[in-house]
Structure 1
Amino acid sequence: MAAIDNTQSPALEREGAVTRFLRATEIDSRMLGMLGALLVIWVGFDLASAFIRGGDGLLGGTFLTPRNLWILLVQTSSIAVMTTGMVLIIVMRHIDLSVGSVLGFTAVCIGTMQVYWLGPALGVGHPAIWIITLVLGLALGAAIGALHGTLIAYFGIPSFIVTLGGLIVWRGAAWSVIRGETVAPMDKNFKLIGGGISGITPGSIGATASWVLGFIICAAIVALIWNGRQQRKRFNFVLKPVWAEVLLAAAGCAAVLGITFVLNSYYWPKGVVDRWAQQTGATIPPEGLNISFGYSIPVLIALFVGIAMTFVANRTRFGRYIYAIGGNPEAAELAGINTKKITLMVFSLMGMLAAISASISSARLDSATNALGQFDELYVIAAAVIGGTSLAGGLGTIYGAMLGALVMQSLQSGMTLLNFESATKDMVVGCVLVFAVFVDQVYRRRVK
Structure 2
Amino acid sequence: MTDASLAPAKPRQGLRALELDLRLLGMIGAFVLIAVAFHLASDGRFITPRNLFNLTIQTASVAIMATGMVFVIVTRHIDLSVGSVLATCSAVMAMTQTLVVPDWLGLGLGHPATAWIAIAAGIATGALIGAFHGWLIGYLTIPAFIVTLGGLLIWRNVAWYLTDGQTIGPLDETFQLFGGINGTLGETGSWVLGGLAALAVVWALWSARRGKMAHDFPVKPLWAEIAVGAAAIGAILGFVALLNAYTIPSRVLARRFEARGEVMPEGLVQGYGVPISVVLLIAVAIVMTVIARRTRFGRYIFATGGNPDAAELSGIDTRWLTVKIFALLGVLCAISAIVASARLTNHSNDIGVLDELRVIAAAVIGGTALKGGVGTIYGAIIGALIMQSLQSGMAMVGVDAPLQNIVVGGVLVLAVWIDIVYRKRAGA
> Could you tell me how far 1:226 is from its partner in structure 2?
0.6
Superposed displacement of residue 67, structure 1:
0.9
The answer (yes or no) to whether the contact 1:130–1:190 under 8 Å persists in 2 is yes
- Quick one: which of 84, 90, 95 aligns to 1:112? 95
* Paired residues of 1:5 and 1:239 also in contact (CA < 8 A): no
Verify the 8 A CA contact 1:324 1:394 in the aligned structure 2. Answer: yes
Deviations 1:79-111 (A, max 9, x none): 010000000000000000000000011111111
- CA drift of 1:185 comes to 0.7
Match of 1:146 among 131, 136, 139: 131
**C-alpha distance in 1 between matches for 2:159 and 2:368:** 30
Q: How does 1:351-362 map to 2 (within 5 A)?
A: 351-362=330-341
Quote the Cα distance in structure 1 between the aligned partners of 2:260 and 2:110: 20
Q: Answer whether contact 1:5 1:238 (CA < 8 A) is retained.
A: no
Unaligned runs of 5+ residues in structure 1 are 14-19, 51-60, 198-202
2:305 alignment partner in structure 1: 326
Q: Distance in 2 between matches of 1:419 and 1:179?
A: 34
Rounded to whole Å, the distance in 1 between the matches of 2:121 and 2:166 is: 22
Query: Matched residue of 2:398: which SS?
Result: coil
- Which of 315, 320, 334 is matched with 2:294 structurally? 315
Separation in 1, partners of 2:262, 2:396: 36
User: CA-to-partner distance for each residue in 1:277-334, whole Å, 9 max, x for gaps?
Assistant: 3344555455x22111111110000000001000000100000000000000000011
- Contact preservation (8 Å) 1:225, 1:245: yes
Task: Find out whether 1:406 has 2:385 as its counterpart.
Answer: yes
Amino acid at match of 1:294: G
Query: What does 1:31-430 align with in structure 2 at a 5 Å threshold?
Result: 31-50=24-43, 61-120=44-103, 121-197=106-182, 203-280=183-260, 282-286=262-266, 288-430=267-409
The offset of 1:431, in angstroms, is 0.6
Distance 2:144 2:200 in 1: 38
Question: Any idea what the Cα deviations from partners look like across 1:351-409, whole Å, max 9, x if unmatched?
Answer: 00000001110111011122210100100000000000000100000001101000001
Q: TM-score, normalised by structure 1?
A: 0.91
1:27 is displaced (CA, Å) by 1.6
The answer (yes or no) to whether the contact 1:98–1:163 under 8 Å persists in 2 is yes
Distance 1:5 1:306, change over 3 A: farther
Paired residue for 1:54?
none
How far apart are 1:140 and its partner, in Å? Answer: 0.4
What letter matches 1:35 in structure 2? I
The residue identity in structure 2 corresponding to 1:142 is A
**Alpha-carbon distance in structure 2 between the residues aligned to 1:214 and 1:106:** 32
Q: What amino acid maps onto 2:89 in structure 1?
A: T
Q: Deviations over 1:400-439 (max 9, x none)?
A: 1101000001111111111210001000100100000001
Unaligned residue ranges in structure 2 (runs of 5+): 1-6
Residue 179 of structure 1 and its aligned partner are, at CA, apart by: 2.3
Amino acid at match of 2:124: A
Shift in Å, 1:119: 2.9
Deviation at 1:5, TM superposition (A): 8.6
| Stretch deviating more after TM superposition (146-155 or 165-174) | 165-174
- The amino acid of 1:321's aligned partner reads Y
Q: Which residue of structure 2 lines up, in the alignment, with residue 57 of structure 1?
A: none
Deviation per CA, 1:133-172: give whole Å up to 9, x if none: 0011000000000000000000010100100010011111
For 1:157, give the aligned amino acid. I
CA contact (8 A) 2:92 2:121 kept: no
Aligned residue identity for 1:412 = Q
In the TM superposition, what is the alpha-carbon distance from 1:276 to its structure 2 partner?
2.4
Note if contact 1:105-1:370 (Cα within 8 Å) is conserved in structure 2: no
CA-atom RMSD in angstroms: 1.4
- One-letter identity of the residue aligned with 1:37: A
State how far apart, in whole Å, the 1-side matches of 2:21 and 2:169 are.
45
